[in-house]
Chains A and B, each alone.
Chain A
Amino acid sequence: MDSSTWLKILGYIITPITAFVVGVTYGGIVRVITARVQNRFGPPITQNFWDIIKLYSKKTAVHHGLMQHWGPVFAITASVTSLFFIPVLKDSPLWLNNSFNGDIIFLLYMMVFGSLGMALGAGQTGNPNSAIGVARGLALMVGYEVPFVLALVAIMIQFKTTSIAELMAVQDGFSNWLIFQSPFAFIAAILAFLGMMHYAPFDVTFAPAEIASGPASEFGGKYLALMQTSGSIFTFAKLVLFTDIFLGGAGDLVTLIVKTFLLYMIPVLTGIVNPRYRTEQAITFFWKWPTVFGIIAILIVVL
């Protein structure tokens, strides 16, 4: 095997590990920020690592059937596969992985794969709260998908491409970032992003105080550990996708981390200061102003 093949294999290994480390660290930072806003001290930033390590080392594991047993596997498959099809760093063979073999439309569907597997797993537990959470989550998805797709369509028809790599290529200078080239698309997409990240006011799916964490409530031990791993990787994947599409991507890891962190703070800070919507309010929220912004974005491109 020549060096490029080895580089590729190395890429497949370090990309998910980086995503995991960054995702979990972000999770820890969010806990600290939330605590400070609520006038608490909060756990150390590394707390989420210890939580996951503890869960992985738990001996007993309880499940209600094969579908629940495999639910977290579906989740990790979806998050790692999605990550592999997103160019993490610009022009670096180590971080490109499979990004030239799929496109945005593929990613939209790939991302649902994990939610569906999780939903099936949660469904098998027989816990009514899980089922309620799933019904809410799927309904919410129809809500935020509308502005999100409007924004993506606006961008795709503007540059006549559905490939993320090509979208990154057109944003070669600071002023060419899509956030400045098509601001309305960005507004629509970032509002959809609030729903996608499941922070308040759109945390109807997991709503701990209301439906006892909903879909996740019956998962413990290795299952919860795998789910949290997958969740961290998925968070990072979504952040990188948004950075690639709207913020011009990144040439090195430091830039990537700065950009994704700033992006991540939008849903987190919104979440800290907001109460929770009712599900139908959360859905219809996305069909009002965010959709209007999305339509404006398309009209600007067309006219």
Chain B
Amino acid sequence: MISVPVILSVMFLGGVLAWLANRFVPKGASWTAAIIAAFAGYLVFALPSCGGEYTLALGSITLVWKSTNYSALFAMLVAVLGFLGILYSMDFMAGKKNLGYYYMNFLFALGAMLGIVYSQDLVSLFFFWEVMTWSSFMLVIYSGEEKSHKAGIKYFAYSAIGAYLILSAIVILYAQSNSFLLSENVKMFSGMSLGTQIMVISFLALGFGVKSAMMPLHVWAPEAYKESPSGFTAVFSGALSKMGIFGLGLVVFKFAANTEFFVYVRETLAWLGGLTAMLATFYAVIQSDAKKLLAYSSIGQLGYIIVGLALGTPLGIMAALFLTIMHGAFKAMLFMSAGAVYMRTGTTSLDDVSGLITKMPLTFLTALFGIISVAGIPPLGGFISKWMLYQALLETNHYFLIIVIFIASTAAFLYLYRFIFSLFLGQREKEFEHVKEVPWSMLVPMMLLTLFVLVAGVFPGLVLDPIGKAMGYLGNFKASWEPQVVFSAWGEKINMQVIAGTIGTIFILGALFIGFKNRKATRVVSTKDIHTAGEIPTENENLTYAVNFNQPFERAIAPILKWSVDKLFNLLGENLESTFEYLRYVYTGNGQTYAMYVILMVVILILFSGSIFGIHL
């Protein structure tokens, strides 16, 4: 019998098992973790057909776990990316220290994410939310270096603020409805006072906004993504940040939809999302580290998702959820290829690495499909989400927001090209002569995801079917699509069969022509054999153009960056930094201290809940 507790126990007990395995069997942790993740993944996919609700009464609190269509969508994303992330980690992490710790926290994070999406009550939602934050924090500080500790503390501090906001919202809700059940609270929400409604919605939106790295709450993300091991970063950006989106979806369509100020909530979120998308893209353009670049790109892409959700039309939500899945796939691909480069060269700096395409062709192919998908170029999956998003923006009369989104997605070409050019193209340098392709266990996840973005692009209906069901959970949303055709509310359509067919046919014809014409006389030359106006470059002459790659664009947007960075964010940042100096006395970076805080918090809640909130647990 497959049920939610079974899946959760497999994940959590599996985590402990992986930790134990590491102590007794060499390589035991990675194999255990991979088997556990695969098994749990199978259970997640089998669960929806079993259905069923699991209830657990703990005193006056009732915990309810159930798989809804909405949670099934996110659970599948978590399960697939989690398994692929662990598979990727097997060789990526091989030979590193503390593998038991790594896989245990990895599986805990996956289990917690599944717990979040299956929770039908606020207590278990919050509990799993905390477990997720903790285990991901442990993985951010995995390397144990000073930088990772700094990134980890920043991440934890922001997450803690977010978590306390969510907790406050839960307490406020409980005080009004006397129930922790999600369905009960949703039912009674429209009857609550305006002040309560505003407080609950803003607290929840901010709390979930932290995880989805919505500006200006994104500060933790670039560092945390950069410092965490790449196998986990793929899941971190691909699935874990989507928990914020999961929560925002509930806030917008379950809570805010029943209020009178629904339209303001949506507009605020839409503009926050749009500005996040644009500014994060600009920041991504000026990064010189591959993982930081991808981190900012991730923030920007989540901005699009928030815009789509906030539009509130069937097409908008469909675009958001489609992008949620696609972003999970293509950002995992990009983080994995960045990780592969890191494994072989020891750096992710875009200024240092170059010309790896001949050494790591399959990694390059993954990165290529990844960037084409992020850029939204047909016929890959990213394009369909972009198309739906623009159609949704047009049909809801967001004339200026659509411009912001367009700027963001055009500027994205700059950083995407920089990413692939700096790492894989350009001059082949001698110091990378020894570089080899990564082992199969890392290539398999990358190749599977590559295949997925291609299939999802040509047959969007495959992904839209579960999304359509998930939309049914959020409200009465109807959108129309066929396996290969997507329609907009204005009656426009894109026919992926024709599009992919045309592109494929012409490309193959062109490739045949270029391949067979004068095949014998075609030869490959080295990257030193280039047009340099008569000067012959010597063997050791450095002709790589990588440092300050996007300088022209940087100069052009200097006024914008200056205005926003210097005047706004720096001021905010400096103030926050000095606040954090004090916070460091609280957040010591020591796990035991944090455990003590949680216990203290619970004690305070139990002791004073009556006098503060008027509730008696």
- Residues on A lying within 8 angstroms of B by beta carbon are 58-67, 69-70, 72-74, 76-77, 80-81, 84-85, 98, 101-103, 105-106, 109-110, 112-113, 116, 119-120, 123-129, 131-132, 134-136, 138-139, 141-143, 145-146, 149-150, 153-154, 156-157, 160-163, 204, 212, 217-218, 221-223, 226, 279-280, 283-284, 287, 298, 302
What are 13 inter-chain pairs, A to B, with CB distance below 8 A? A61-B521, A64-B526, A74-B507, A101-B498, A102-B499, A105-B387, A113-B377, A123-B421, A131-B545, A134-B417, A162-B488, A226-B514, A280-B552
Say whether B43 faces chain A, with CB atoms less than 8 Å apart. Answer: no
Assembly CA distance A81 to B549 (angstroms): 31
Let me know if A142 and B399 touch, CB within 8 A.
no
> In this assembly, does B530 line the interface, its C-beta being within 8 Å of a C-beta of chain A?
yes
User: In the complex, are the beta carbons of B552 and A70 less than 8 A apart?
Assistant: no
B421 touches A109 (CB 8 A): no
Q: Is the CB of A65 within 8 A of B358?
A: yes
Selected contact of B552 from candidates A58, A84, A283, CB within 8 Å: A283
B428 within 8 A of A: yes
- When distances are taken between beta carbons in the complex, the residues of chain B under 8 Å from A66 are 357
A105 vs B531: C-alpha distance when bound (angstroms): 38
Minimum CB distance partner of A134 in chain B: B417
Interface segment, B93-101, B251-259, B406-414, B470-478?
A: B406-414
**B368-396 residues at the A interface, CB under 8 angstroms:** 368, 372, 375-378, 383, 386-387, 390-391, 394
Q: How far is the CB of B403 from chain A (nearest CB, A)?
A: 6
Contact among A73, A98, A134, A160 for B490, CB-based, below 8 A: A160
Q: Are A62 and B413 closer than 8 Å at their CB atoms? A: no
**Measured between alpha carbons, how far is A124 from B368 in the docked complex, in Å?**
13
Quote the shortest CB–CB distance from A192 to chain B (angstroms): 12
B493: interface (CB < 8 Å)? yes
A85 to B513, CA, bound (A): 23
Smallest CB-CB A-B distances: 8 pairs: A126-B527, A279-B552, A123-B425, A73-B510, A139-B553, A101-B495, A283-B556, A280-B555
B524:A64 contact, CB within 8 angstroms: yes
How far apart sit A191 and B313, CA to CA, in the bound complex (Å)?
Answer: 34
Within 8 A of A (CB), among B545-560: 545, 549-553, 555-556
Asked if B525 lies at the interface with its beta carbon under 8 angstroms from chain A, I say yes
User: B39 to chain A: closest CB distance in Å?
Assistant: 40
Expressed in whole angstroms, the minimum distance between the Cβ of B425 and any Cβ of chain A is: 4
Question: Do B410 and A132 touch (CB < 8 A)?
Answer: no
User: What is the minimal beta-carbon distance from B558 to any residue of chain A, in angstroms?
Assistant: 8
B567 at the interface (CB under 8 A from A): no
In the complex with contacts A113-B377, A226-B514, A146-B407 CB distance below 8 A? yes
Distance in Å: Cβ of B88 to nearest Cβ of chain A: 25
Q: Which residues of A contact B387 (CB under 8 A)?
A: 105-106, 109
Query: Which residues of chain A are within 8 angstroms of B377 by Cβ–Cβ distance?
Result: 109-110, 112-113, 116
Q: What is the bound-complex CA distance between A143 and B556, given in angstroms?
A: 9
Which residues of chain A come closer than 8 Å to B427, judged between CB atoms? 126
CB distance B506 to A120 under 8 Å? no
Pick from B492, B502, B529, B550: contact of A139, CB under 8 Å: B550
* Neighbouring A residues of B507 by C-beta, 8 Å: 73-74, 77
Task: Tell which of A70, A138, A279 touches B514, judged by Cβ atoms closer than 8 Å.
Answer: A70
Which residue of the partner chain, among A77, A119, A127, contacts B530 with CB atoms under 8 Å? A127
CB of B420 within 8 Å of the partner chain: yes
Given contacts A120-B417, A153-B403, 12 further A-B contacts (CB under 8 A): A59-B518, A59-B521, A61-B522, A70-B514, A81-B503, A101-B498, A109-B376, A109-B386, A131-B426, A131-B549, A160-B490, A162-B394
Choose one: A60, A103, A110, A132; the contact of B518 (CB below 8 Å). Answer: A60
User: Residue B402 at the A interface, CB < 8 A?
Assistant: yes
Residues in chain A near residue B376, CB distance under 8 A: 109
Which of chain A's residues has its CB closest to B390's CB?
A105
In the complex, chain A residues whose CB is within 8 Å of the CB of B383: 106, 109
Give the total of B residues in contact with A, Cβ under 8 Å.
76
CB distance from A160 to the nearest CB of B (A): 6
Q: Which residues of B contact A112 (CB under 8 A)?
A: 375, 377, 413
Quick check: B530 and A142 within 8 Å, CB to CB? no
Q: Which of B355, B358, B377, B550 has the most CB of A within 10 A?
A: B377
Do the beta carbons of A62 and B523 come within 8 Å of each other?
Answer: yes
Please tell me if the beta carbons of A128 and B413 are within 8 angstroms of each other in the complex.
no
Contact of A127 among B407, B411, B511, B531 (CB under 8 A): B531
Q: Give chain B residues whose Cβ lies under 8 Å from the Cβ of A284.
A: 556
Q: Shortest beta-carbon distance, A121 to chain B, in Å?
A: 9
Which B residues are closer than 8 A to A by beta carbons?
Answer: 355, 357-358, 368, 372, 375-378, 383, 386-387, 390-391, 394, 397, 399-400, 402-403, 406-407, 410-411, 413-414, 417-418, 420-421, 425-428, 488, 490, 492-495, 498-499, 502-503, 506-507, 510-511, 513-515, 517-518, 521-533, 543-545, 549-553, 555-556
Would you give the shortest CB distance from B560 to chain A, in whole angstroms?
Answer: 9
- Hey, which chain A residues are within 8 Å of B544, CB to CB? 126, 128
Query: When chains A and B are docked, how far (Å) is the Cα of A85 from the Cα of B492?
Result: 14
B493 neighbours in A (Cβ, 8 Å): 101
Contact residues in B for A153 (Cβ distance below 8 Å): 394, 399, 402-403
Q: Please indicate the chain B residues that have their CB under 8 angstroms from the CB of A123 in the complex.
A: 417, 420-421, 425-426
Give Cα A163 to B491, complex, Å. 9
Question: Are A73 and B511 neighbours in the complex by a CB distance under 8 Å?
Answer: yes
Minimum CB distance partner of A286 in chain B: B556
- A300 to B421 alpha-carbon distance, docked (Å): 42
Contact partner, A116, options B403, B406, B413, B528, Cβ 8 Å = B413
* Contact call A77/B510, Cβ cutoff below 8 A: yes
Decide if A124 touches B490 in the complex (CB within 8 Å). Answer: no
CB distance from B428 to the nearest CB of A (A): 7
Chain B residues lying within 8 Å of A72, measured Cβ to Cβ, are 510, 514
Q: Is the CB of B355 within 8 A of A126?
A: yes
Contact B426 A126 (CB under 8 A): yes
| C-alpha gap A70/B507 in the complex (Å) | 9
Of B390, B403, B527, B551, the residue contacting A146 (CB under 8 A) is B403
Which residues of chain B have C-beta atoms less than 8 A from A134's C-beta? 417, 421
Complex: chain A residue closest to B426, CB-CB? A126
Closest residue of A by beta carbon distance from B355: A126
CA distance A284 to B511 in the complex (A): 38
Given contacts A116-B417, A212-B531, contact A142 B494 (CB under 8 A): no
Question: In the complex, A61→B521 CA distance in Å?
Answer: 6
CA distance A113 to B499 in the complex (A): 13
CB closest residue in chain A, given B495: A101
Residues in A with CB closer than 8 Å to B511 are 70, 73
Q: Check A125/B510 contact, CB under 8 A, given A135-B550, A162-B394.
A: no
Partner of A283, one of B368, B499, B523, B553: B553
A143 to B552, CA, bound (A): 11
What's the least CB distance linking A17 to chain B, in Å?
14
* Complex CA distance for A217 and B531, rounded to whole angstroms: 7
Q: A120 touching B368 by the CB < 8 A rule? A: yes
CA distance A264 to B493 in the complex (A): 30
Closest to B523 in A: A62
A139 near B425 (CB under 8 angstroms)?
A: no
B420 touches A120 (CB 8 A): yes
Q: In whole angstroms, what is the CA distance A139 to B498 when docked?
A: 31
- Expressed in whole angstroms, the minimum distance between the Cβ of B480 and any Cβ of chain A is 16
Which residues on B sit within 8 Å (CB–CB) of A116?
A: 372, 375, 377, 413, 417
User: In the docked arrangement, what's the CA distance between A73 and B518, Å?
Assistant: 16
A288 → chain B, closest Cβ, in Å? 12
- Are A156 and B394 touching (Cβ within 8 A)? yes
Give the shortest distance, in Å, between B460 (CB) and chain A (any CB): 13
Known: A120-B368, A217-B531, A222-B514. A150 touches B414 (CB 8 A): no
Please tell me if the beta carbons of B406 and A145 are within 8 angstroms of each other in the complex: yes
Assembled-state Cα–Cα distance A136/B551 (Å): 9
In contact, B355 and A162 (Cβ under 8 angstroms): no
**Is there contact, CB below 8 Å, between B527 and A64?**
yes
CB neighbours (8 Å) of B426 from chain A are 123-124, 126, 131
* Residue of A120, A284, A287 most packed against chain B (CB within 10 A): A120
